[in-house]
Amino acid sequence: MSIAQNLSNAMVLASTYILIAIGLTMVYGVLKVLHVAHAGVYASGAFVGLGAFNFVRPFCTPTLEDARLASNLAFWISLPIAMIVSGVMGALIYLLIYRYTWGKSPTISLVASVGLFTLIQDLLQKPFLLGPRQQPYPAGGAGMPRIETPWFMITPTQVLILFVTLILLAIVYVILNRTRIGLGWQAASLDPEMAAAVGVNVTHVIVLNFFLGSMLAGAAGVLVGVYDNMVFSTMGDVPSYKAFVVVVLGGLGSVPGTIVASIVLAVTETFMVAFAGSLMPRDAIAFLVLILLLMFRPRGLLGRA
């Protein structure tokens, strides 16, 4: 019972890591920038989603008798709104900041990114936005069923996270592999100058890249907000470094590697907490895994040599 349950819980945790880390991987793939402010986009996504949810829900209530249905509908409206706003935010971050720091020392982009992350968090903490308190995001499972088997149980919210993650991953896969702009991204991530020389509009590719990656981060923010029933200004703190562990673990710039690394990390964390008890805090486990892996396989799980 316990092992299967832990595994299924770990897969849900992995889904949230995947959604946060893919955007970072995509940004690193092309720009070679460590985009710390991505975690700020994630927290902003949760904030926008919650705002939209709270705004829309009263309008849904009079038409729908059942409060549960109203809240489900409000969630499905709030999710795309949060994703689009996060996507635009990401694109703006590129257009206003990284466009100017790109090509200079990576430290400049990194410092700009850290500064931006702090700014976003401090703004979110203002009383007219989120305020200092945690806010509930009571969307529950948004209409998803509960799955019960003799070995494990998946709550409706967990089903929701797995479902949304799978759909978004499928969309990203199609865009990256089946569209011109996706092929342009692949070309630009190999060699931006060469790609530009053969007619790829690198700026378009990068803007789209930021838009897509930030959209996923926004979705992650919403899903985690609902999963924990808690949205707060500093919720990006842990993802700000853990997502990097995932990205480096997966092999910098590799999307499939990021997915594998997320699963490896989530499963390791869950089982370490379950079986090694109080040995070390769970965030330390992430770095331990990273250090061990880099010692034996410096290019990451699926990185290019």
Partner 1 sequence: MKKFAMLAWLVALAVLVVSCAPAPTPVPPTKAPEPTKAPEPTKAPEATKPPSAGPIKIGFFSPLTGPTAADGQSAFNSAKLAVKLINDAGGINGAPLQLINYDDAGKPDQAASVARKLIESDKVVAAISGAYSGPTRAAAPVFQQAGMVMLSAYAIHPEITKVGDKIFRIGTLADVQGKVGAELVAKNLKAKKVAILTIDNDYGVSLTAGFKAHALKVGLEIIFEQKYSFGEKDFRPIIEKIKAANPDVVYATGYYAEASTLVSQAKDAGLKAQIVGQEGYDSPQFIKLAGANSEGVIITTDLNRDSKEAMTQKFLTEYKKAYNEDADMVGASAFDAVQVLAYAMKTGGTTTDGIIKALKGLKDFKDCATGPFLRYTADRELVRPVSSQIVKGGAFHLYQEFTDPAVTTP
Triad 262, 277, 272: Cα angle to 5°: 20
Of 65-124, binders to partner 1 (CB under 8 A) are 106-107, 110-111, 114, 117-118, 121-122
Residue with tokens 């990068």: 206
Question: Residue 231 pairs with which residues in a beta bridge?
Answer: 135
Q: Does 53 bind partner 1 (CB under 8 A)?
A: no
Residue 222 tokens read as: 């919403």
Whether the Cβ atoms of residue 40 and residue 76 lie closer than 8 Å to each other: no
- Minimum Å gap between C-beta 87 and partner 1 is 23
Of residues 58 and 131, the one with the C-beta less far from partner 1: 131
Question: Residue 147 pairs with which residues in a beta bridge?
Answer: 154
Buried b (16+ CB within 10 A) or exposed e, 90-110: bbebbeebbeebbeeeeebbe
Of 7-46, binders to partner 1 (CB under 8 A) are 9, 13, 34, 36
- Minimum Å gap between C-beta 130 and partner 1 is 11
- Minimum Å gap between C-beta 279 and partner 1 is 9
Contacts of 118 (CB under 8 A, 6+ apart): none
Q: Does 294 bind partner 1 (CB under 8 A)?
A: yes
- Minimum Å gap between C-beta 234 and partner 1 is 5
Neighbours of 198 (CB within 10 A): 9
**Chain residues in the site for partner 1 (CB under 8 A):** 2, 5-6, 9, 13, 34, 36, 106-107, 110-111, 114, 117-118, 121-122, 125, 132-134, 136, 138, 153, 155, 224, 228-230, 232, 234, 237-238, 240-241, 244-245, 248, 252, 270-271, 273-274, 277-278, 281-283, 294, 298-299
